[in-house]
Structure formats: C-alpha cells, structure tokens
C-alpha cells in the first residue's frame, strides 16, 4: 500500500455556532495545536501525500493558520453549505488529479488515529470502492447506523429513518471514509439532494456504489477516535483524552510522572527517559527535555530546551529561548527567558534572567535581575564562567561580568566587570549610634497623637 498515492480531503467549513466563538471551530486547540491540525497529522501519518482543506467560515483566518501547520495543503472554499457531499466536491480540482485513494475526514475529529485511516485505505487496496469508518458508541441513539449484509455495507441509515430492527444496531457512522480515486468523482456527481433539507449527503455514495456493483465495506475505529467536537465541553473532554494518551506514552517510554493527571503536555513535547516530573507541571509548545532531568512541582515551561540532569523548580517559569545545559539548575520562583544557563550553573531563588548567558558553574544569588529592557529595546547580559553574583543585585544591560567575577550583594551594576574582579555598586553603609531608639520614640509619639485625634 506504500506505493498508493492518497489525498486527504478535510472538511473544515463549519461555523461551529455551538462553540460560541468568533474563531472557526476547527482552530480551537487540543494540546496547543488546532484540532484540524491534529487531523492533518493523522492523515499524513496514514500516508496522505496531498491535503485539501475545504473551508468556509473565517476563510482568511483558516488560510493563515493552515500555512503554519500544513504549509503544503491546498485550500478550497465551500461558498454555500449544501451538505457534506457538496463540501467534498469543493475540492474537485484536487480529487481529479488521479490519486489512488481519497480519505474524507472532518476537521473537528482531532483524536482520529493513523491506524483507523490506514485500515480503511487497506480495504481500498484489497479492491473495495468505498470503506466507511464506523464505531460503537456507548449509546447509538442519534447516530446513523451502518447496515451490513454478508460483510458488505449496504446503507448508512439515519436514526429517524431506521426500522425498529435497525435501531438495535450498535455499529454507527463516524462520518469518515476512504474512496477509491478512480470512482470518487463518478460517485460524488451522482449524489442528489432530494431530501427534506435539499442537501447533498456524502453518505449516499454507499448505496450509489452498491447499486453500481461496486464493493462497499465498513472498518471499525474506537469511540475515542471518532469523537467529534461541537462545543467547549466536548473540547475539554477531547483534551483530557489526548492528555491521558500522551501521559501513558511518556511513562511507557521511561518518564516518571508522580501525579500523571496533573501534568499537561503540548502536542510537540519531547521528554527523555529517566526524567522525573512532579505534580502540577505545564508544558507549552516547543519544549525539549533530555534524559535524567527533574522538573519540580508547579513549574511552567514553554519554548525551552533542558539538557540531561538539569534541575528545574519548584515554581519555575521557563519562557521561549530558555536553554539549560547539562546539570544546570533553575530553582524556585525563578524566570528565564531567551537565555543560556551553561553547564553546572545555578540560578536558585527568586531571580529573573532574560536575554543573557550565565557561564558554566556560575552562581546567581537570590533576587538577582538582569535589567534587559529600557522600554524600547532589549539588551544582553553576559555572565562569565564561575562568576558569583550576590543576592539582590541588578545587572543593567548591556553589561559583562567577567570569568570568575564577584558581585557584592545588593549591587546595581552598570559597567562591565573584568575577570576575577570584585564589584560593589551600592552606597557605603553609615551607622549612627542611638538613632534607632530616637526614631522609634518619634514614630510612637506620632502614632499616639493620631489615635487621640481620631477619638
């Protein structure tokens, strides 16, 4: 089957009014990726060599989004919504190019797996003209039933049209199907609209193909694979299913999740074996973690690279561009953005490091800030290997702290510090004997006077 060409036609023109959103329904995200992008990924994993997105509502927004997640996909606009058969024919130009297989999919089924699609394509390779993907929901009520006879699919019957016997069928239509490319346009062009809604239903090709002596079969996918999203409650359910799958994959690959149900992955999270993730950790897009790292509780990480045996958190925030090298540590209540923390360097407590390099084995004291932004432009701070920055220091960029440099606690550093130098950037301490007692007495007297006046 690897030699067979395949076009995936993904229907994504629905307005999704039940989402109560100005954004097209299929652009709502699962694991940080638009649900239609999950469908595209599944199609490509099943061998689709072409992708045709049929769009309508929010067409320009859809095109912009598609350019990011499917830059090679073609878009076709369904000007009028006249049914699923009409929607597929909006991509007539792509279908007519002679693909062996046509996969018809829906942009609001983000959990569909490549395996279900491959199984349908395999039936085409074996000679079927149409392979409909079915599933068995907990309750079939409301779904179209797949009516089979002698291992062949003879009809898709909407519930309102089902006989009492057909209503007992638990095998239901998931909406998706594979159609042999050589028959696709012939079948689609025969679909009529003589029904209550005057719409062209894709499901009619089952009986059309059967009447023409073509082989029509059904394949089965899991209920989760076929789950369609119509509102935000169902979106949350799909997110939960996706996360549960991903957590299990991670644990089976050697990652320890202490409280799996509290860890949230992005669609592209990469995490190495022997990494330990504590409870309540959120991974946004673009995170890569090597083996043996430990991510402590309540950390928020996105767009970051974490090398082996690093230690992060608890309550750490790594923003895009954070690059932690081997055995680096970013501790509690620290934020790192667009900065490299080199091997063995420590950023332990209550610190912000942005647009910077922290050299190998350097130590950054609590409360340190790289002052990287003047309201208009960003500037770089370079902290050399083995440097020591005392607590509560402000490093005003652009500035360089040399290798082995030492910054006294409480300093504001505005000029570069040479290698192995000690820098003070604070006022000299002055001690006045007895002045503390005098101040306390003055403040107490003033407070008593205010209280008496209030009475």
pLDDT 10s digits, 263-294 = 999 999 999 999 999 999 999 999 999 999 99
**Where would I find the beta strands (DSSP E) of 14-86?**
29-30, 33-34, 50-55, 74-77
The fourth-level CATH superfamily of domain 247-423 is Hexapeptide repeat proteins (2.160.10.10)
Measured in degrees and rounded to the nearest 5, phi and psi for residue 209 equal: -65, -45
Arithmetic mean of pLDDT over the chain? 94
Are the CB atoms for 325 and 342 separated by under 8 Å?
Answer: yes
Q: Looking at mean pLDDT, say which of 19-23, 114-118, 148-152, 427-431 comes out highest.
A: 114-118
CA 196 to chain centre: 40
For residue 292, give both structure tokens.
């043996």
User: Residue 429: is its pLDDT beyond 90?
Assistant: no
DSSP string over 162-194: --TTGGG---EEEEEEEEEHHHHHHHHHT----
Are the CB atoms for 312 and 324 separated by under 8 Å?
Answer: yes
Mean pLDDT of 84-101: 95
User: Residue 240: is its pLDDT beyond 80?
Assistant: yes
| Residue 79 vs residue 52, higher pLDDT | 52
Measured in degrees and rounded to the nearest 5, phi and psi for residue 150 equal: 55, 45
Supply the CATH classification number for the domain 6-220. 3.90.550.10
Model confidence, pTM? 0.89
183 catalytic per annotation = no
Domain residue spans of the chain: 6-220, 247-423
Measured in degrees and rounded to the nearest 5, phi and psi for residue 443 equal: -65, -40
User: Residue 59: is its pLDDT beyond 60?
Assistant: yes
Measured in degrees and rounded to the nearest 5, phi and psi for residue 250 equal: -65, -45
Sorting pLDDT into bands at 50, 70 and 90, what band is 15?
confident
pLDDT at 2: 63
């Amino acid at each position: 089957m690897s030699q067979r060409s395949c076009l995936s036609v993904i229907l994504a023109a629905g307005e999704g009014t039940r989402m109560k959103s100005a954004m097209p329904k299929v652009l709502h995200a699962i694991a940080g990726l638009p649900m239609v992008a999950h469908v595209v990924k599944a199609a490509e994993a099943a061998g689709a060599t072409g992708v045709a997105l049929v769009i309508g509502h929010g067409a320009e927004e859809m095109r912009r989004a598609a350019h990011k997640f499917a830059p090679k996909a073609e878009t076709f606009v369904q000007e009028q919504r006249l049914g699923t058969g009409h929607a597929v024919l909006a991509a007539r130009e792509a279908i007519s190019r002679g693909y062996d297989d046509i996969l018809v999919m829906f942009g609001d089924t983000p959990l569909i797996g490549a395996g279900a699609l491959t199984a349908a394509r395999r039936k085409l390779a074996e000679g079927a003209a149409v392979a409909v993907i079915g599933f068995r929901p907990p309750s079939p009520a409301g779904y179209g039933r797949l009516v089979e006879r002698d291992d062949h699919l003879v009809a898709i019957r909407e519930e309102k049209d089902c006989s009492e016997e057909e209503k007992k069928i638990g095998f239901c239509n998931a909406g998706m199907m594979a159609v042999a490319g050589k028959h696709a346009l012939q079948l689609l062009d025969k679909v009529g609209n003589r029904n209550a809604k005057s719409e062209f239903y894709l499901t009619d090709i089952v009986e059309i193909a059967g009447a023409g002596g073509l082989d029509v079969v059904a394949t089965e996918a899991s209920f989760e694979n076929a789950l369609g999203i119509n509102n935000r409650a169902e979106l949350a359910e799909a997110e939960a299913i996706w996360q549960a799958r991903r957590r299990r994959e991670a644990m089976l690959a050697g990652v320890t999740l202490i409280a799996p149900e509290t860890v949230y992955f992005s669609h592209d999270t990469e995490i190495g074996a022997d990494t330990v993730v504590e409870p309540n950790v959120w991974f946004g897009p673009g995170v890569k973690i090597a083996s043996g790292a430990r991510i402590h509780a309540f950390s928020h990480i996105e767009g970051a690279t974490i090398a082996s045996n690093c230690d992060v958190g608890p309550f750490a925030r790594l923003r895009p561009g954070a690059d932690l090298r081997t055995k680096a540590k970013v501790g509690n209540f620290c934020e790192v953005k667009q900065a490299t923390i080199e091997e063995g360097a420590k950023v332990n407590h209550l610190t912000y490091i942005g647009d910077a390099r922290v050299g190998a084995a350097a130590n950054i004291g609590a409360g340190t800030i790289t002052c990287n932004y003047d309201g208009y432009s960003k500037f770089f701070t370079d902290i050399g290997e083995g440097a020591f920055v005392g607590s509560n220091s402000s490093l005003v960029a652009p500035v360089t702290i040399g290798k082995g440099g030492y910054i006294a606690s409480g300093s504001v550093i505005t000029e570069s510090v040479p290698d192995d130098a000690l820098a003070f950037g604070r006022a000299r301490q002055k001690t006045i004997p007895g002045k503390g007692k005098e101040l306390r007495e003055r403040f107490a007297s003033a407070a008593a006077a205010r209280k008496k006046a209030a009475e």
